[in-house]
């Protein structure tokens, strides 16, 4: 568990939210429309703030204040949102996203828990050189795995590609650098990367730099209602695991 630092009641102009309006444990979807759904299992979940692509809902989970905050799309948006939330006192983050499939045999109904990411973007270079790995926190990743297993949902654990250009993957033939993009896709597939998304590498690198913890879980393809329900249940259970383990650690 990260070291808890008592914060004054600070305010983020970017998120339009104050430190007393958010929890220490936060889910990070990209899409603002998913925020109310992900916060649905929280006791007393309600909207705290709304600005640009950032929507914040907060409620209680086993007596602990928890939040869902939308980041918008891409690593720059993730970096800004994460930095603001860390400054407000949050210490545990789970990226809840949608990703494209890299492995052809992957079951599209499976959830993908990302323990690391290929840094195929440039935002994280502002924090660490490319030789620094983008790796998730072990406790958060384990909590996600335990939750998916206990709920009997199909899941895989592996490495994602975090990229800057959405259409570089979805329409590589329409790009000037089409040959290089197609070759990169082949290399990632042969190397065993599971999925392609646009945020977690920066999330993992900044979390390491700022001494907080983070993990990631992805839906493949479009967010079908059942898959969204499954990922919501997994994230809720994972947060409960982390809250209980942190409480036991503090008592110990």
List pLDDT tens digits, range 148-181: 999 999 999 999 999 988 776 767 777 777 877 7
User: Which residues make beta-bridge pairs with 160?
Assistant: 117, 195
Question: What confidence category does residue 7 fall into, taking pLDDT thresholds of 50, 70 and 90?
Answer: low
pLDDT at 14 over 80: yes
DSSP code of 10?
-
The per-residue pLDDT for 3 is 54
Give Cα 113 to chain centroid, integer Å: 10
CA angle 101, 67, 108 (to 5 degrees): 15
Question: What confidence category does residue 195 fall into, taking pLDDT thresholds of 50, 70 and 90?
Answer: very high
pLDDT at 248 over 60: yes
| % of the chain at pLDDT higher than 90 | 76
CA dihedral angle for residue 204, residue 243, residue 11, residue 32, rounded to 10 degrees: 70
Rounded to an integer, what distance in angstroms lies between the CA atom of residue 115 and that of residue 40? 26
pLDDT at 54 over 70: yes
Rounded to an integer, what distance in angstroms lies between the CA atom of residue 207 and that of residue 214? 6
Which are the contacts of 115, defined by CB distance < 8 A and separation ≥ 6? 135, 136, 141, 157, 158, 159, 215
Q: How much is the average pLDDT of 224-234?
A: 92
Question: What confidence category does residue 250 fall into, taking pLDDT thresholds of 50, 70 and 90?
Answer: confident
Q: Cβ distance 51 to 248 under 8 Å?
A: no
pTM attached to this predicted model: 0.93
Instruction: Give me 168's structure tokens.
Output: 């570089």
CA angle 240, 243, 247 (to 5 degrees): 140
| % of the chain at pLDDT higher than 70 | 94
Closest to 165 measured CA to CA, from 154, 147, 178, 152 = 178
Question: What confidence category does residue 223 fall into, taking pLDDT thresholds of 50, 70 and 90?
Answer: low
The per-residue pLDDT for 133 is 97
The per-residue pLDDT for 60 is 98
Which domains, from first to last, does the chain contain? 12-166+194-251 (3.40.50.1580)
Q: Cβ distance 154 to 109 under 8 Å?
A: yes
State pLDDT tens for residues 103-146: 888 888 899 999 999 999 999 999 999 999 999 999 999 999 99
Using DSSP's 3-state secondary structure scheme, residue 101 falls into strand
């Amino acid at each position: 568990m990260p070291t808890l630092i008592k914060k004054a009641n600070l305010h983020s102009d970017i998120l339009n939210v104050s430190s007393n309006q958010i929890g220490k444990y936060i889910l990070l979807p990209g899409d603002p429309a998913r925020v109310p759904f992900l916060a649905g299992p929280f006791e007393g979940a309600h909207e705290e703030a709304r600005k640009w692509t950032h929507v914040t809902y907060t409620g209680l989970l086993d007596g602990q204040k928890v939040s869902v905050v939308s980041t918008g799309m891409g690593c720059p948006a993730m970096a800004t949102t994460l930095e603001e939330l860390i400054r407000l006192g949050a210490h545990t983050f789970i990226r809840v996203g949608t990703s494209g499939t890299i492995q052809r045999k992957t079951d599209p109904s499976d959830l993908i828990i990302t323990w690391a990411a290929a840094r195929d973007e440039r935002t994280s270079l502002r924090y660490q050189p490319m030789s620094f790995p983008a790796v998730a926190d072990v406790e958060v990743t384990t909590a996600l795995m335990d939750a998916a297993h206990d709920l009997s949902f199909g899941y895989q654990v592996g490495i994602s590609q975090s990229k800057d250009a959405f259409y570089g993957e979805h329409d590589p033939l329409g790009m000037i650098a089409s040959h290089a993009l197609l070759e990169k896709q082949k290399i990632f597939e042969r190397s065993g990367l599971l999925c392609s998304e646009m945020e977690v590498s920066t999330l993992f690198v900044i979390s390491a730099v700022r001494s907080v913890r983070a993990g990631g879980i992805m839906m493949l393809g479009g967010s079908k209602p059942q898959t969204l329900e499954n990922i919501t249940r997994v994230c809720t259970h994972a947060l409960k695991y982390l809250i209980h383990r942190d409480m036991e650690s503090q008592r110990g």
